[in-house]
Structure 1
Amino acid sequence: MAVAAQCLRCPIVARPSIAQQRITKVNNLGGGARGFGIGGAPTSISRRYHGLGRVLVFARVSNKSEVLPSASADDQSPPPLVGEDSAVFELQSQKLSSWLYFTAILAAVTVVLYFAWLDPTTGYGTAYVDWLSTLTNNSPELVITAMLAIFALVHSGLASFRDRGEQLIGERAYRVVFAGLSLPLAVSAVVYFINHRYEGAQLWHVQDVPGVHQLVWLLSFTSFFFLYPSTFNLLEVAAVDKPKLHMWETGIMRITRHPQMVGQFMWCFAHTLWIGSSFTLTTSIGLLAHHLFGVWNGDRRLSLRYGDAFETVKQRTSVVPFVAIAQGRQKLPRDFYKEFLRLPYLIITALTLGAYFSHPLLRLGSSSLHW
């Protein structure tokens, strides 16, 4: 009993845990009971081991066996796509019958457009232009403003009503209505612009300044790579394939989320600089106003259709070119240039060069309409 009582009066010394033993061992590294060097000053190596010991013990105690990877070059690679890879053209997935339908539809649309709208004897285009000229007292600036306003209401209005319209009559039928109303209005504005581009006040004349022609040509050529992302799906444009509201994420979309607005700005700046008339300036203001509205309306429509997925794409991209890239929100892949080495971009190149060399024919055809 005396021995038992003596034992009870003795202080109980708990055995240190395994974690505490590891801390003690690590702390003793580098000299001194607490890892201090001569004179009690902590050495750099002892500080490193001391911190390492805490990390090791914490990892063991929390039962985390995996090791988190450190930052590496791989972390800079682009995240997986949420939207679609743009301008993809796989020859093996194409059908000859689809492209034959496309050719037939394109020919039919051209014939109908000519006889129903362009031809002075059978079309309604001349009556449309005369009506606007009468309303505006034959003011070219007011006529082109009215033309662009009507086109914007029809084009953007039908685009905004697309979801409801496709539910009512189907995707292909709605595309026919959309193109059937938008195309003649757009052609009217183009023809009227060509015929009246030098009217109004001459604000400046820089066509003789060295380098201006080259600058205008370069801006105009580049603008078409932004203006026409619709060439990514020509079969959908002609309603051969079922039209879809796409959310592209690669190619030109990495530079700007709204390439048509950027391309229109480049085209307007180049042509207004070259021509220098008040009519051309008025036309450019109207076009840019419509495309700036399209920035807001396009984001709204994509947000309604794709929800959180679009918010992710929106975070990765920017409206102003290269801003998301500069801010690090858009991570370009190392082979980014390959996203432009695709057939749709080659088609844009061919069409752009064709439009440039066919300028004399465009002027001749427009003048023959007397709009």
Structure 2
Amino acid sequence: MLALLLAFAVLHSGGASLRQWGVARIGERAWRLIFAALSIPAAVVVVGYFLAHRYDGVRLWDLQAQPWIVPVVWVGTAISFLFLYPATYNLLEIPALLKPQVRLYATGIIRVSRHPQAVGQVLWCATHLLWIGTSFTLVTCAGLIAHHLFAVWNGDRRLLNRFGPAFEELRASTSILPFRAVLDGRQRLVASEFLRPAQLGIVIAVGLFWWAHRFIGVGATAFSRTGLGHWLA
């Protein structure tokens, strides 16, 4: 699992770091299509392997019979998705239907944390580790969080190189830790900035994930039976 996560981190973060070099040679759209064509299948492999092996290793705890565990896990997961998705990119830019652009965001969820995806990943890991409770999931979460901590540093470095003083101003007025900039007066929350169509999309996605969780066992079994699943195992 750690080997898969490392390979994905090199592919994903490496591709992000090479973006300016690649764009200068083949253009924004072509670079995004190549990046997505490599990153998305790699992510599917990592997720599939995790689902197939999530209960492997030592069972560190088993809280699934507790009456409070399901609402805690689902509320925490829903909140994690609000951090993971809508602040960082335009959905139509992933397949390059719109021209991909690098932007500085200073509104919405960025007021809470400058790196919302890292916050969302930590929260997702915390809720799923609480639910599953295996050593395999613990190792997976450690790898995911380590990658996102690296991405925090790498993302700030790339934005500083690209935007210079404009990013310095953004960094001074925001925080990595959630709500720190709000609590110390550098930021204020604006409710209207959170009322976006993307937020409704996340609510719908959470509902679909809730419904689809009943098929996780079937999907994990199917993945493990594929040639790729056997090779990775």
When normalised by structure 2's length, the TM-score is 0.93
Deviation by residue 1:264-322 (Cα, 9 ceiling, x = unmatched):
00000000011100000000000000000000011111111111111111111100000
- Give unpaired runs (5+ residues) of structure 1: 1-143
1:227 match: 84
Which AA in structure 2 matches 1:184?
P
Task: Tell whether 2:6 aligns with 1:152.
Answer: no
Which AA in structure 2 matches 1:355?
F
Mapping of residues 10-21 of structure 1, within 5 Å: none
1:344 match: 198
Counterpart Cα distance in 1 of 2:59 and 2:210? 24
1:154–1:230 Cα change, 3 Å: farther
Which AA in structure 1 matches 2:192?
K
Q: Which moved more, 1:147-156 or 1:212-221?
A: 212-221
Shift of 1:361: 2.6
Task: Tell whether 2:16 aligns with 1:165.
Answer: no
Task: Tell whether 2:188 aligns with 1:188.
Answer: no
Deviating beyond 3 angstroms after TM superposition, the runs of 4 or more aligned structure 1 residues are none
Counterpart Cα distance in 2 of 1:239 and 1:362? 30
1:33 match: none
**Does structure 2 conserve the Cα–Cα contact (< 8 Å) formed by 1:255 and 1:318?**
yes
Task: Tell whether 2:124 aligns with 1:270.
Answer: no
SS of 2:93's equivalent in the other structure is: helix
Provide the identity percentage: 49
Q: How many corresponding residue pairs?
A: 225
Larger radius of gyration: 1
Shift of 1:363: 3.1
Which AA in structure 2 matches 1:341?
L
SS of 1:256's equivalent in the other structure is: coil
2:180 match: 323
Deviation by residue 1:60-112 (Cα, 9 ceiling, x = unmatched):
xxxxxxxxxxxxxxxxxxxxxxxxxxxxxxxxxxxxxxxxxxxxxxxxxxxxx
1:280 match: 137
2:215 match: 361
User: Whose relative contact order is higher, 1 or 2, with alpha carbons under 8 Å and at least 6 apart?
Assistant: 2
- Give unpaired runs (5+ residues) of structure 2: none
Counterpart Cα distance in 2 of 1:231 and 1:350? 19
**Does structure 2 conserve the Cα–Cα contact (< 8 Å) formed by 1:220 and 1:270?**
yes
SS of 2:90's equivalent in the other structure is: helix
Counterpart Cα distance in 2 of 1:365 and 1:326? 43
Counterpart Cα distance in 2 of 1:165 and 1:361? 39
RMSD over aligned CA atoms reads 1.2
SS of 1:244's equivalent in the other structure is: coil
Mapping of residues 68-79 of structure 1, within 5 Å: none
1:271–1:254 Cα change, 3 Å: same
Shift of 1:210: 3.1
1:231–1:156 Cα change, 3 Å: closer
1:253 match: 110
Shift of 1:196: 0.7
Q: Which moved more, 1:193-202 or 1:354-363?
A: 354-363
**Does structure 1 conserve the Cα–Cα contact (< 8 Å) formed by 2:87 and 2:108?**
no
Q: Which moved more, 1:208-217 or 1:320-329?
A: 208-217
2:101 to 229, 241, 244: 244
1:230–1:319 Cα change, 3 Å: closer
Shift of 1:232: 4.7
Shift of 1:342: 1.1
Which AA in structure 2 matches 1:357?
W
Shift of 1:366: 2.8
Bigger helix share: 2
2:147 match: 290
**Does structure 2 conserve the Cα–Cα contact (< 8 Å) formed by 1:232 and 1:344?**
no
When normalised by structure 1's length, the TM-score is 0.59
1:258–1:231 Cα change, 3 Å: closer
Mapping of residues 55-134 of structure 1, within 5 Å: none
Counterpart Cα distance in 2 of 1:353 and 1:228? 15
